[in-house]
Each structure stands twice: as structure tokens, then as C-alpha cells.
Amino acid sequence: MIRFDVQLRLRDMMRSDPVAPMAQLEGVVIVDPRLVEELQEQRGQALFGFARRLGLTDEQAADAVQETLLRLWRELHRGRPIDDRAAWAFRTIYRIAMDEHRLRRRLAGLRDRLQREGGHPSSRSEASDRDDSMTVWAQVDRLPARQRHVLYLRYRADLCFDDIAAVLGITPGAARTLASRALERVRRELADPGAH
């Protein structure tokens, strides 16, 4: 498993601000940098793994985690109350990954259009297989996106269904239903791989 470390970059980013508990001083919010550092220590690897499961490369995933922690720092520094920092971070990683995919599709479309206009054939290379070769997670990777995201958030990021619902913008009941259907599908595929 790839490990990453954004701790040094976070410290550099927050160095200019004093370490103090969250307080309101004449309209200026002072945030304890340990709030972000604790999230990075507790959930950083899970955030990175979630970004990888969403299809980002190692480098993109590490950048997405750093961007998420930076956005969290900025939001806290602006005085925005964030009750569940972990759920907020997972939701932000999800949005960053979706933005990255949209950008890639737009660039690929532009590249194809430019190549057609220039008369050169399109040359696309297939993405390499995921580093994670575990049979179960390989099967999870074949699930529809929502089911895959719910299982990853539940069993890799260890979020409760309420937090998963907040991350994905669905109800907790919908998160449970997606997880149940996804688990049944994985069980069925692992029991009889050629049936479907």
C-alpha cells in the first residue's frame, strides 16, 4: 500500500498562524492547527485510499488530500463551523476527484478534436490495473460507482452510514440499501464468478 505524508506541507502552511484554541478575537478566528493535523493523522491514509478508489493516481490522490486539508484549514480559519471534519473531508475528496475526472474528459475530447483536425490517429493508452490485487476489493472495483463508494467509505474509511450519507449527499437509508445490494452482488460474484 502506498503511504503518503503531507504533514510537512501542512506545517509550512499553518506556520504563520499562532497555535491557540479556536477563539474569536475582534472578528479574527484563530484555529488550532492541531485540528487539521489530527484529521490528517487519523484519516489521512483513508482519504488517500478513497481518492485512489475514485480513480486518481497516487500523485493526484496525495494532492487531493493536501487540497482537502488546506480547504478545511481555510474554512475553519474563516470561522465556518464544521461539526464532523472527517465527513466534510471525505465529501471534499469526492468532489475533487469528480472535478479531476471532468477535467480529464474535457482534455481528452479536446485532444481528440485537435488530432482529427490535424489528421493524426488518436493514440490512447489503457490505464494500468490497480495496485490493489485483493480479490474482494477487485470485485468491489467492478461495482457501480455509488455502491463502490459506499462500500469503500464503510469498510475502508470506517464511516458510519450517517457520515456516508453526508459525504455522498444521500440519506442514511439509501447508504444502507446501497451497501446491502453491493455486498450481495460481491458475494454472488465471488461464489460464481462466471454467472454474471
- What's the whole-number mean pLDDT along residues 55-81? 90
d(CA 79, CA 84): 15
Q: What is the pLDDT of residue 20?
A: 39
Q: What is the pLDDT of residue 42?
A: 92
Report CA-CA distances (Å) from 46 to 49, 51, 138, 193: 5, 9, 17, 29
- What's the whole-number mean pLDDT along residues 148-170? 88
d(CA 4, CA 57): 12
- Give the 3-state secondary structure of residue 128: coil
pTM: 0.54
pLDDT band, residue 99 (cuts 50/70/90): confident
Tell me the pLDDT tens digit for each residue of 41-53.
999 999 999 999 9
- Give the 3-state secondary structure of residue 69: helix
Q: What is the pLDDT of residue 110?
A: 59
pLDDT at 16 over 50: no
Q: What is the pLDDT of residue 184?
A: 86
Report CA-CA distances (Å) from 158 to 62, 71, 161, 168: 20, 22, 10, 15
Q: What is the pLDDT of residue 111?
A: 61
CA angle 69, 56, 108 (to 5 degrees): 125
pLDDT band, residue 25 (cuts 50/70/90): very low
Nearest to 63 by CA among 139, 128, 9: 9
Q: Which one is predicted more confidently, 153 or 113?
A: 153
d(CA 65, CA 90): 9
Burial class (CB in 10 A: 0-12, 13-18, 19+), 88: buried
Q: Which one is predicted more confidently, 132 or 68?
A: 68
Q: What is the pLDDT of residue 120?
A: 44
Q: What is the pLDDT of residue 33?
A: 78
Cα dihedral 82/85/88/89 (nearest 10):
140
- What's the whole-number mean pLDDT along residues 150-176? 89
pLDDT band, residue 155 (cuts 50/70/90): confident
**Domain parsing of the chain, residue ranges:** 7-123, 130-196
Report CA-CA distances (Å) from 163 to 66, 67, 87: 21, 20, 6
Q: Which one is predicted more confidently, 19 or 34?
A: 34
**In CATH, what is the architecture of 130-196?**
Orthogonal Bundle (1.10)
pLDDT band, residue 135 (cuts 50/70/90): confident
